[in-house]
Structure 1
Amino acid sequence: MEENNLPQETQDNNRIIEINIEEQMKTAYIDYSMSVIVGRALPDVRDGFKPVHRRILFAMNELGVNSNKPHKKSARIVGEVLGKYHPHGDSSVYDAMVRMAQDWNMRYTMVDGQGNFGSQDGDEPAAMRYTEVRLKKIGESMLDDIEKDTVDFQLNFDDSLQEPTVLPTRIPQLLVNGSSGIAVGMATNILPHNLTEVIEGCVAYIDNREITAEELCKYVKAPDFPTGGIIWGMEGVKQGLLTGRGRVVLRGKLHVETKPSGREQIIITEVPYQVNRDSLCDRVGQLVTDKTIEGIAHINNESNQKEGTRIVIDLKRDAVANIVINQLYKFTELQTSYGINNVALVKGRPKILNIRDMISEFIEFRHEVVVRRAEYELKEARKKAHILQGYLIALDHLDEVIAMIRNSPSPDVARDNLVNAGWGLDEIQAKAILELRLQRLTGMERDKIREEFDQLLKIIAGLEELLGNEGLRFDLIKKELEEVKEKFGDERKTEITYLADEMNILDFIAEEDVVITISHLGYIKRTSATEYRQQKRGGRGAIGGRTREEDYIEHLFVASTHHTLLFFTEKGRCFWLKVYEIPEGEKNSKGRAIQNLMQLPPDDKVRAIIDIAKLQDKEFVNSHYIVLCTKKGVIKKTLLEEFSRPRQNGVNAITVVEGDQLLEARLTNGSMEIMMAVKSGRAIRFPEEKVRPTGRGAIGVSGIEVDDENDEVIGMVCVSKEDKTRTILVVSEKGFGKRTPLTDESGEDVYRITNRGGKGVKTMSVTDKTGSLVGILDVTEKQDLMITCKSGITIRTAVADIREAGRATQGVKLIRLDESDAIAAITAIDEIEEAELVEDEVSTDAAEVSSETPTAEPNAGEENSGDTTEQEENSSND
């Protein structure tokens, strides 16, 4: 018996499969969790819905419960959804549908409810047999074009019907109404936003596909809750928009009223999102009983469906309203925080999304819907046009067609006869002709068929063009979004309040012109421009910055406190600094080391500065250029947009070869004329177009020939071709200067236009008396000239006081210098009305000079040191 049983036992053992319990539990739990994540708890990024909401709207649409039809019993809708698409509990379907009708839960309700749908005080809605619903117009917009093969369909739970995997929404539903849910191992909490703001963000994304999340925050500012309230602080909100995770602090809205008796009342008109008003009143009453809050005599919830929220808190006679309000915010739900956790399904997988991700995914989906809709409409239009073409052929051979049909024994034979008649008809057209009603054969109906066919050909051409042009498709998406905004958009309900440390610093900084000075050893400061008094030409000047003995002011210019400065160093690096970030100092103070304000390497120094007013303006930065030049005559042009994204450690602006240094940087509009001058007195003029734009890391091209080892470029100016008011001002190191027009009275060019890379022409007669050329500027007579010496003395004089002269002259004495002193820098600034005009040429200004600065003897021969004679000018060589 035992032997007979062995084979049976062996057979039974073979039917048992041993498995690892850990692996089995892991696999089963992962399957369960993915089912919950995908099928129940998380919304789809495209239409923003979980399956239950999608199925409710689809079932209502299938039943025809539209906004222009009568309401239907909620139980009828719930039964439809349960029986056809969603085999779960009826309460889950009814609760989801009720929420879509509650205007205190949904920012934009999708369902129009009739009956008792609950209240903000926590009242439960009536049973589904009592309430009625229908779709709202905005809910219908979620389903527009669903019949045009715009989305994929799948089989329902029993494979008997088809249901959509996603709705072809025109509404950015995920952002607009938000979503919350707890899955397995993850959760989501997406807050509602304003439809107008979200659509403006979508349009901005369509216009610029490279737009950043930070730039989109200008359009989608913050969540917008259906119950209003005040967002208290934006730091957490900004984190949520930029990263997908953050925190929003929301306060209720209230104000203080005084009763005729003199007592004060706190009236709460808006409570935070999803806060139960009755529970809030109970909590306040409990805190008063516990004596946590003192000063409240009575609280009453006077809210109703028609008037909205009104909670009245009566205060005691000696109570201070502000103290009570702060206690209410601290101890009750009148101030509530919400976590932002933007998790949604992207291509079936859960993903954390920032504002840009959500908008880009919606636009990508919308583009797919537009393409599929166009393909469907094109296919249908071609089908219809094909049949109409058959009608037109039949009408052209009407008598033969009638005779052929009448003589045919059966419809099938008639169809075959039509196909074989040689008129080019196929079976589909022949069948349509046989089904044609006799009334369509009248003259008027024939004209209608012809007109309809022509119209269809236009539609087909338009659809083919749409499918072949991505730009047209995105224009259509934008147009449809604008229509949605026009139809359903509204104002924000939730106010935004910035905390003290989040306010825009520019709001607290008066916009004014300031003088920026940078010394040779790298000390920087800003000073109000009104501290520099205007003086006559030839004055002694005033101390512009007290520096160490071996130091002197090297850069001096005027900028607005709201602007951004671009600093270019001699090694070709670019750094950014806001003007208001530069420390303020007295006119004669040293300033602060520039290394303390930006990450400037110790072996590098600032050589050029550009003042930019509109660094964030896309149109401006894409239409302007930075032109750079070096001491060895190299010139380079780069689009300003490449310098519009500040980095803490700077960026490379130009590759400077060994032995060379970056000298100057200028802002241009792309069609200016460039002039470069060298120390020996030569200058070259050529069109900006001769320098092609290159990237930040490029080396550049030759601008002017520098053949002498001791010679070097001392400056560069960029002048507009149309601006005839500007003259070229040159200054030598011993204080001589003059202005020369670009064209003379006869219209001839004083500085002839040449190609870049040449030697140029003489711009100043350089002698031992004048010293080498130190600066070149393009100026107008409305400007002032600031001259800074190596000793630290600064003088400000009107440009109009400097006479015009030929380009080969020496010029006039602009400033009297000590023998050991020399001019270090010159800059032109616009006149400032507040500047004090000093009439006395020497005596008043002499008092401004510091006692530490040695006083030079006045130059008695100033009248002899002026312009060269006409004879000298004519004999000088170009």
Structure 2
Amino acid sequence: MSEEIIPHNATIHDLTPIGDMYQSWFLDYASYVILERAVPAIEDGLKPVQRRILHAMKEMDDGRYNKVANIIGQTMQYHPHGDASIAEAIINLGQKELLIDMQGNWGDIRTGDSAAAARYIEARPSSLAHAILYSPQITSWQLSYDGRKKEPVTFPIKFPLLLAQGAEGIAVGLATKILPHNFCELIEGAIAVLQGKTTNLLPDFPTGGLVDCSAYNEGKRGGRIRLRARIEILDKKTLAIREIPYGTTTNSLIESIIRAYERGKIKIKQVIDNTAEDVEILVHLAPGQSPDVVLDALYVFTDCEIGISPNTCVIKDEKPTFIGVNELLEYNTYRTKDILQQELTLQHKNLQEKILFASLEKLFIEKRIYRDIEESETWEQVLLTIDQGLEPYKKQFYRAIIEDDLVRLTEIKIKRISKYDSQKAEDALLVLEKELAEVEHHLQHLTTFTIQYFKNLLKKYGAGKERKTEIRTFDTIEAHAVVANNQKLYINRKQGFIGYGLKKDELIGDCSDLDDVIVFRKDGKCLVVKIAEKVFVGKDIIHAAVYKKNDERRVYNLIYIDGKTGIARAKRFQMLGIIRDKEYDVTIGSTGSRILYLTDNPNGNAEVVTVILSPNSPARNKVIDFDFASLQIKGRNSQGNILTKYTIKKIQLKVAGQSTLGALEVWYDEHIGKLNTENRGKWLGTFKEDDRVLLLLQSGQYMLTNYALTNHYEPDQVILLEKFDPKCIVSAVYYDGKTKQHYVKRFHIETTVLDKKFCFISEARNSKLIIATVTATPQICMEYSIAVGEATQNLIYDLGDLPVKGWKAVGSRLSKYIIKEITLLPVQQEHD
């Protein structure tokens, strides 16, 4: 047995259990990481290393750029960690493009390229940093880690910097992820807070792209946003990625596309990165691939769409606090107001002191008090003489005159006294008093002053900081609907196997490894299974195909023999809401029942078949024509209608049928730019197979498309989208950039090519479409003036009176006068 060794000079009460020591040390370490490294402070939105960098840059600032290596060295006086952590933090700060004015290669967050070495790049505080960050006289200070220097506890920042920059950090048992927001929207939001209005901040990212913030939850825990790349369909063979999701790079995005291709999720020929000043990644499609479907597949299977879960955590009152972004903006706004009040109070005090001394100086010289001190023999007598000379005027000052004031008067040089100009001094005093009155007014109307401060900030620094990420509502894309057909479906009917590994058996068609397959057997059983290399589904397969869940347009036409009665029955049914791997009986279910005829009709077609009875049948007419259109579409459990009681020899197709389903009702959801059949958005009408969709675009082009639900449209580019009527007349007003005139035209859509854009306005530079409509009787209101400087007049113009010409026609000049504005008038409704 081992013996416990205890120092001879220790008692049992002097010992600390290891568990207690670990708990204490771990908590100390966790608190240090949370407070001093990972989580930003709510007051200025900075982590300690960032604050120390900005303080060091201010100390070094002389208006010129400093080597980043020197800044790192200066920061190490305050930051107790290595130079690598400081270098990483300063690069990260610089790439935010807010507080640091950079020179040299600082890397590129879009491509993931790293910055040049610290000895090659330079930096200095930006003008915005000087405006919002530094105010030494109202800054709280503390000693640096070695006690040699002073550093700010937090900066008195006058802007919601944390929300503008965003922040991310992982501590011990705690993490923060604050998304960046738009500079201009933050200032507008701060103004709204001061005006007592509600705010709804949404993130904005420097890489642009699209964002769905419907579940943002003010950036709190549990929220989530979806980010998408901006993808443009250049033509039927090429997609162009123009902007990428925040947190990705062009390299990582291309790698994700290549991985999706290698897994067979998408079919492409090549990916080319043309990124330079702007992002451009060209995705060339494989032959036969729909650009709309591949576009959706990129969102599903690659980093073209990512999700981010925010977690707004800040240090407040020396402990981590979870808070929403709107509440955080409100805190920062009122803190800015408080800091402005402190600065105004300090300015007010300084102005009072300047006025006080200027008044004392004026009295000291104009009342010739300086001459009275010539007879004084001691320093005390000098001060007493000046004090007595000022005695009659002391009531006009805001505070009592102290010895220091008298000493300052004695330091005025004779040269200044001899050149003293009373009028000039009086004017200077009036200026100071005016400034003092202005400061007092600002203090009395502090909210108005703060609002004006934010407006000035927006005016001076808001240019170029407009929103880059477009807010959209995304649709939910089903992976199985857009995955590429990366496999072949084979079948062994006799033995009852299906799968993509049966390469020696019968080929059914293309499929993907995400698909389900529906199988009908001769015994009347049906089941849906997941595609695999080889799956047993039962012998005597008569039909197998890729199954589309909840496809309400797909109808099965069936003739079967009831095994109990021998009666042949016909039915039409759908397979909706099935359970995978469960067998369903599409006959009555009697033993010996079997299927004689089955067709799979994706658009509800109903054919005519010829039923040939057995020659031994007692029936007079041994050849029967049967039209499936005479049957109603029912559920899969229906027994069907009696076709014949006699023995059937064979069944032949006589006439291919037409769809018996009604036309498809289609809506356009302008928020996501896609068609749907779910009653979302604008109702376009009922569509049959040959119907088309007409688009009129902001670019002055029109285009015809089919009504596939996978089509993508850019909502901000669409002026009009509706069901195409070949008889419709397009009325358009446009500005010709070459002639500098407005033209009006009316034309029919004469082309039939789908998915091709046709320009119906002048292609000269700066030409633009003003109005386009297919209204039968369009009217516009034209505001014009006869000459420059003349009063404007209004004229109602009926476009319906114009002749209809070809879409290539130039049109007629609208007016010889100076046109100020053109407005399409609402359609007048006729009443009985």
Name the TM-score, length of structure 1 as normaliser: 0.50
Say yes or no: does 1:302 pair with 2:274: yes
User: Paired residue for 2:178?
Assistant: 190
Contact 1:228 1:271 in 2 (8 A): yes
Query: Which of 363, 366, 390 is 1:393 aligned to?
Result: 363
Amino acid in the other structure paired with 1:143: L
Q: Which residue in 1 is equivalent to 2:80? A: 87
- CA drift at 1:375: 2.3
Aligned residues: 467
CA contact (8 A) 1:244 1:355 kept: no
Aligned to 1:133, what secondary structure does the other structure show? strand
| Structure 1 position 478, deviation (Å) | 0.9
CA distance in 2, matches of 1:303, 1:23: 57
2:487 — aligned with what?
none
Take 1:463 and 1:483, find their aligned partners in 2: how far apart are those partners?
17
Q: 1:454 aligns with which of 430, 435, 452?
A: 430
8 Å CA contact retained: 1:387, 1:428: no
Contact 2:168/2:178 (CA < 8 Å) preserved in 1?
yes
TM-score, normalization by structure 2: 0.53
Amino acid at match of 2:411: E
Q: Please give the alpha-carbon distance, in whole angstroms, between the structure 2 residues aligned to 1:412 and 1:267.
A: 86
Relative distance call for 1:434 and 1:42 in structure 2 (3 A) is same
Looking at structure 2, the residues matched to 64 and 402 of structure 1 have their Cα atoms a distance apart, in angstroms, of: 46
Superposed, which structure 2 residues align to 1:478-627 within 5 Å?
478-489=451-462, 490-499=465-474
CA–CA distance in structure 2, aligned partners of residues 453 and 55 of structure 1:
41
1:70 aligns with 2:60: no
CA-to-partner distance for each residue in 1:426-485, whole Å, 9 max, x for gaps?
422222222213343356633333333333334444444544x3xx11111111111111
Q: CA deviation at 1:410?
A: 6.9
Q: Secondary structure at the match of 2:157?
A: coil
Equivalent pair of 2:372/2:385 in contact (CA under 8 Å): no
Residue 32 of structure 1 deviates from its aligned partner by 1.6
Contact 2:229/2:243 (8 A) holds in 1: yes
> Alpha-carbon deviation of 1:158?
2.1
Report the Cα distance in structure 1 between the residues aligned to 2:157 and 2:420, rounded to whole angstroms.
41
Identity across matched positions, percent: 27
The answer to whether 1:223 aligns with 2:203 is yes
Bigger CA drift: 281-290 or 41-50? Answer: 281-290
- Residue-by-residue CA offset, 1:1-30 (whole Å, 9 max, x unaligned): xxxxxxxx9981259712243333222222
Q: Contact 2:242 / 2:281 at 8 angstroms: preserved in 1?
A: yes
Asked if the contact 1:240/1:247 (under 8 Å) is kept, the reply is no
Aligned match of 2:725: none
Aligned to 1:772: none
The separation in 2 between residues aligned to 1:363 and 1:835, in whole angstroms, is 55
1:285 and 2:255 correspond = no
What residue in structure 2 maps to residue 48 of structure 1? 45
Q: Provide the aligned C-alpha RMSD in A.
A: 2.8
Aligned to 1:179: 167
Listed one character per residue, the Cα deviations across residues 484-530 of structure 1 (whole Å, up to 9, x for unaligned) are 111222321001112469xxxxxxxxxxxxxxxxxxxxxxxxxxxxx
Q: 342, 353, 366: which one pairs with 1:372?
A: 342
- The structure in which a higher percent of residues are strand is 2
Would you say the 8 A contact 1:283–1:332 is kept in 2? yes
1:117 correspondence with 2:110: no
CA contact 1:300–1:311 (8 Å) conserved in 2 = yes
- The structural deviation recorded for 1:323 is 1.9
Q: How does 1:712-791 map to 2 (within 5 A)?
A: none
The answer to whether the 8 A contact 1:170-1:481 is kept is no
The aligned residue for residue 227 of structure 2 is 250
Q: Gaps (5+ residues) in structure 2?
A: 1-5, 395-400, 477-678, 680-827
The AA in structure 2 aligned to 1:473 is L
In the alignment, the residues of structure 2 paired with residue 117 and residue 58 of structure 1 have an alpha-carbon distance, to the nearest angstrom, of 20
Give the Å deviation of 1:90: 0.6
2:481 matched residue in structure 1: none
Q: Secondary structure at the match of 1:199?
A: helix
- Amino acid aligned to 2:238: Q
1:623-772 to 2 correspondences below 5 Å:
none
Cα offset, 1:168, TM superposition: 2.1
- Within the candidate set 195, 210, 218, 1:240 is matched to 218
| Cα separation, partners in 2 of 1:76 and 1:500, compared to 1, 3 Å | closer
Contact 1:240-1:246 at 8 Å conserved across structures? yes
Partner letter of residue 77 of structure 1?
I
Matches within 5 A, 1:405-424: 405=374, 407=375, 414-419=382-387, 421=389, 423=391
**Whole-Å separation in 1 of the counterparts to 2:294 and 2:390:** 94
Give the letter for the 1:81 counterpart.
T
Query: Does the CA-based 8 Å contact 1:240-1:341 persist in structure 2?
Result: no
Q: Deviations over 1:250-271 (max 9, x none)?
A: 000111223xxxx621111111
2:129 corresponds to which of 118, 127, 139: 139
Q: Secondary structure at the match of 1:336?
A: strand
Distance 1:475 1:245, change over 3 A: farther
Name 2:507's counterpart in structure 1.
Answer: none
Contact 1:245 1:342 in 2 (8 A): no
Change (3 A) 1:301 1:451: same
Match of 2:492 in 1: none
Q: What amino acid is the match of 1:404?
A: I
Separation of aligned partners in 1, 2:92 and 2:475: 37
Q: Give, in angstroms, the shift of residue 278 of structure 1.
A: 1.4
1:272 aligns with 2:269: no
- Relative to structure 1, the CA distance from residue 64 to residue 448 in structure 2 (aligned partners, 3 Å threshold; closer, same or farther) is farther
Q: 1:418 to 1:14 in 2, by over 3 A?
A: farther
- Once the two structures are TM-superposed, the CA of residue 182 in structure 1 deviates from its matched residue by 0.8
> Greater helix share, 1 or 2?
1
CA distance in 2, matches of 1:50, 1:301: 36
Which has the higher mean CA deviation after the structures are superposed, 156-165 or 193-202? 156-165
Structure 1: which amino acid aligns with 2:180?
Answer: P
* Corresponding residue number in structure 2 for 1:431: 407
SS at match of 2:412: coil
State the SS of the aligned residue for 2:9.
helix
Distance 1:377 1:197 in 2: 30
Letter in 1 for 2:205: F
Q: Aligned partner of 1:249: which letter?
A: R
Give per-residue Cα distances to partners, 1:804-850, cap 9 Å, x unaligned. Answer: xxxxxxxxxxxxxxxxxxxxxxxxxxxx98665xxxxxxxxxxxxxx
Alpha carbons of structure 1 residues 422 and 334: separation in structure 2 relative to 1, 3 Å: closer
